[in-house]
Structure 1
Amino acid sequence: FAETLRRRAAALEAIASGRPGIAGTWVNAFGSITLTPADSGAYRLAADLRGDYGGDRRRTCQLTADLKPAGGGWLAGPVVTEADTSSNKAKTDAAAAPAKPPSLKLRRQGETLRIVGTIDDEGWDGFNDCSSMWQVTGSYFAAGKDAASDKADTTFVTPTFDCTKPETATDEEICADPDLAGNDQRLNR
């Protein structure tokens, strides 16, 4: 339980105040997803989710999906699956029609990324690394800076007082440190 709380605290610290676009890493309380641009406006999604609901109720999900532009501003596509080549699979299953794998759709909603998972075939059990596909559905928050950005952050934070005439050594220190200047701004609004 303590490890779950540590992971969640780390995720909250990593959540950025927003960024443009959808590429990069997005997090929520249960894990993270990473979106990588592909051809023709498509994206590759990689999810690594871990839900701990107390006791022995734990769910993990690691999956990938190829998402392409769809109507209404959504990106949508099927979850990528690997064929089950285990020898314990009955030969009669090989003759049966393959079940349709789950699909995902996502879009930006304000400063969040909304992901919705759908399963058309309730009997589908083709995941080796995902005990509950439903845990993918949720809202995710941008983590860190936009990885594709090559522009340096040039913003300058000033405190609430005039740094050209500091009155104390503490004032000088606040003027020299952007983090302290930002704290001064928050405290003296």
Structure 2
Amino acid sequence: MATIAVPVAAGNSLAAVKPKHRAKNRPGESLHSQRRLEAVDQQVKALHYRKMGLTYAEIADRLGMGSPQTAWSAVESALKRTLQEPADDVRKLELGRLDAMFMPVYADACRGDLAALNSALNIMTRRARMLGLDASVRTENRTDLTANSAAGVLIVGGVMTPEAWAAASKEQSNG
């Protein structure tokens, strides 16, 4: 198998492609083993050739890969890696911004400021969503048919006053 040098411009995200752990890697193998580094190098070359307009069959031939499917997999792996790294950086930046916004709002929310409480909850919700902390919500659709429903009457509970809300919250916290 011939080794082909592919020029990669300095600063190009492909120059800094790092190997990532995948299920088919050998157990106990270092993330920076020679085999993995060579695989990443081949992925970078495959992506470069694809950008030049070569077909997957041509890429496979030039890089000594077994099939066009292998070349396609190499290109896909390189693309995923180059897209994931900037996304991780943006995610870190956004989490830092949310943390900075949360600090002053949280202090006000703890003092009873309802607007600050709402803002804090919104920030917490956004942060949890970004981190994937929210579990899937399972919903169950139930219909409660009562005597009043046949007549088309919908019975809705009353609106809670702030005092009733505070009492219910206190009761829930205690028991």
- Give TM-score, length-normalised by structure 2: 0.26
Pick the structure with more helix per residue. 2
Bigger radius of gyration: 2
- Give TM-score, length-normalised by structure 1: 0.25
Pick the structure with more strand per residue. 1
